[in-house]
Structure 1
Amino acid sequence: MQTSIRPGQVWLDTKGERIQAHGGSLFYENDTFYWYGENKEKTTPGSGVWTWGVRAYSSTDLYNWDDLGLIIPPVLDDPASPLHPAQKMDRPHIIFNEETGKYVCWVKLLGDSAHATQRSTVLTADSLLGPYEVVRAGFEPLGMSAGDFDLVVDPITKKAYYYFEKVHTELICAELSADYTDVSGEYSTHFPHPSPPFTREAPAHFERHGIHYLLTSGSTGYFPNFSEVASAPDYHGPWAVLGDPHPDDPTRTSFRSQISCVFRHPKKKDLYIALADRWLPQLPEDIPNVYDVVAAMARGQAPPDTSGGDRSAMAAGLGENTAIADYVWLPIRFDGDIPRIDWLDEWRLEDYA
């Protein structure tokens, strides 16, 4: 029985198996927490498997999680299906539409070699745990290649917003249709950058005291980089960049992780939790920051040393064995209105009012 959260440590479910809910989110319903995300159990080097469906877990304390199985299983008999492993589905996000009574799940598709763009697929269900039915497959929202994203429902108006990376270009805030299964056509653009690793991806939105926040990462694949936080008075901005929310991380790699969402605890006064994946736990703690490498090369200098053990560790990382990826869950503290994320080897919900 687990009685605390230990960031970066192997997290097992109540059956003693690794939790597989990556790029995931939390959903709170009927006094129960649901954690869902990418099932990476088969994503080992040479497997050819990116994601094996969407898996969900339930908990009443956020410490101990029961495996509920695949709520969106892979489709194996149709290579053209957006849920076939060859389509490389990831980043599931589920929101509830009070008007239709439907749970709406959006997923990102990296796609097979036949498509040069990243696409989206939308599914709906009558229950959070499914079964889900595909209602819109393999499309480009607003005619754009859509990468990592977040979905947000305004608690008052019930209007939904879709923050996504227009791949390798900028971040888009698009309003969704009334049933949440399509974009309405209204959108705004933010954080333009010429190319990776500077393009912002993996947006995670939250709101506190009327201020909207976005946490994003750079575009460096599974290799970690420093996060960036921005604030705004509205969903559409204007956004003011506040810098790296991990001030005590000397490596500037977000504690070797990438944030996937921010969850506000429904029973705590002011507890916001940043959920992050440590995609490559086999990488060394002193791995060179990717921005330092890029900057050095731009100056015509040799990049930071990655010889010896570091080189072998980085080579292992390139194998992308995300089946053993870990989780880094940390509470967000606020310096005035500035979010900060500090490293904690272990922390407990009971320590928060």
Structure 2
Amino acid sequence: MNRTVLLIFLWIPFLVFSQSPTKFTGFHPGADWLADDGKVIDCHGGNIIYVDSLKTYYWYGEHRGEPRGASCYSSKDLYNWKNEGVVIEKDTIETFERPKVIYDSKNDRYVMWFHYDGNRYQIAELGVAVSKSPTGPFELKDHFRPNGHESRDIGMYIDPKTKKAYIGYAADHTNRTIRMVALADDYLSLTENDVDINAHCEGPGILKYRDTYFLLTSGCSGWKPNPATYYTATNIMGPYSSHGSPFINDLENNSFNSQPCYIFKVPGFKDAYIYMADRWNGGGHPDSQYVFLPIFITESGKMELRWYDEWNLSIFNRN
């Protein structure tokens, strides 16, 4: 074997090793986040669920590369994610946005709700799909306007005790308001328990802390970030009171250059909430970054988010 060939063989293991994905030990808001395949995670505007029987987290979101639709990633620690692929393709759906998945333990199935629309946002409906596996494929079951109202950006909240589920949706022309609607027990349909929260905003995220519900939203400025507003109520259906932006030392007044999509309550910790948000950079690009930050509720009942270049779950107290 000549010297050149020998050198090539010696370099091959190094190249394979050097291209292996980074092992993450925490969150790095706004930085590129790589999955197990070494590619940037493409999973936007979605949510995370934890399936206790599988001891696994599943992250769903818009897959903005090809094929368009919803992607799924799985993880054991919330830092390192395995690419499970596209679990539903948008196919004939012109606009597929903001997928939110809930696990139906009674029927052992996974239900996905999302914003179903045309390319000019004129349809403004909710879509619903179902799968027997967390990694799909999901089958489209229906799409409609909830109780006759336009619906665009959506958020979701599941009561951990009662298992009741709710969708907060940006409603009516130009997202003039946020409405809250209760899902039926089968999670595949809606009830008529549907109220106007009277908040001109979008990108809703919802959490419950003690006896208070917190609704975190962005303003309506398209792909451009803006100062968020949070609202509180003692009943998830309202009425809600506005409290301004929860972002501390947000120098550019744009929610740390992000837009909320979901609030994930981490199991195994006391009052551990993660702000899930996208950094769109002026458009819905496949490589748009993510901003995950801890949410804290002060003793006086205020929501606060601070910037961290890096953080991990040790910031929270375990149960």
* Shorter-chain TM band: 0.7 to 0.9
3-state secondary structure, aligned to 1:26: strand
- 1:1-353 pair list within 5 angstroms: 1-29=23-51, 30-42=54-66, 52-75=68-91, 81-82=92-93, 87-113=94-120, 116-137=122-143, 139-167=144-172, 168-192=175-199, 199-280=200-281, 317=282, 320=283, 322-336=285-299, 337-353=301-317
**One-letter code of the match for 2:285?**
T
d(CA) in 1 for partners of 2:165, 2:297: 26
d(CA) in 2 for partners of 1:34, 1:99: 19
Cα distance per residue 1:121-161 (max 9 Å; x no partner): 11112222222221113x11111110111222223333221
Q: Shift in Å at residue 321 of structure 1?
A: 5.6
Cα distance per residue 1:223-275 (max 9 Å; x no partner): 00011111111111121112101021021100110011111110222221101
**One-letter code of the match for 1:152?**
Y
Gaps of 5+ in 1: 43-50, 76-80, 193-198, 281-316
Q: How many residue pairs align between the two structures?
A: 290
Bigger Rg, structure 1 or 2: 2
Relative distance call for 1:159 and 1:3 in structure 2 (3 A) is closer
d(CA) in 1 for partners of 2:149, 2:75: 37
Q: Shift in Å at residue 98 of structure 1?
A: 3.3
Identity, % of aligned positions: 33
**One-letter code of the match for 1:345?**
D
d(CA) in 2 for partners of 1:251, 1:212: 27
Cα distance per residue 1:287-335 (max 9 Å; x no partner): xxxxxxxxxxxxxxxxxxxxxxxxxxxxxx4xx3612210010011222
TM-score for the superposition, normalised by structure 1: 0.78
RMSD: 1.7
Gaps of 5+ in 2: 1-22
TM-score for the superposition, normalised by structure 2: 0.86
Verify the 8 A CA contact 1:111 1:119 in the aligned structure 2.
no
d(CA) in 2 for partners of 1:211, 1:275: 20
Verify the 8 A CA contact 1:191 1:200 in the aligned structure 2.
no
Corresponding position of 1:295: none
d(CA) in 1 for partners of 2:279, 2:103: 28
3-state secondary structure, aligned to 2:46: strand
Verify the 8 A CA contact 1:37 1:56 in the aligned structure 2.
yes
d(CA) in 1 for partners of 2:197, 2:90: 34
Corresponding position of 2:14: none
Report the structure, 1 or 2, having the larger strand content. Answer: 2
d(CA) in 2 for partners of 1:92, 1:116: 19
3-state secondary structure, aligned to 1:142: helix
Q: Shift in Å at residue 175 of structure 1?
A: 1.7
Q: Shift in Å at residue 351 of structure 1?
A: 3.7
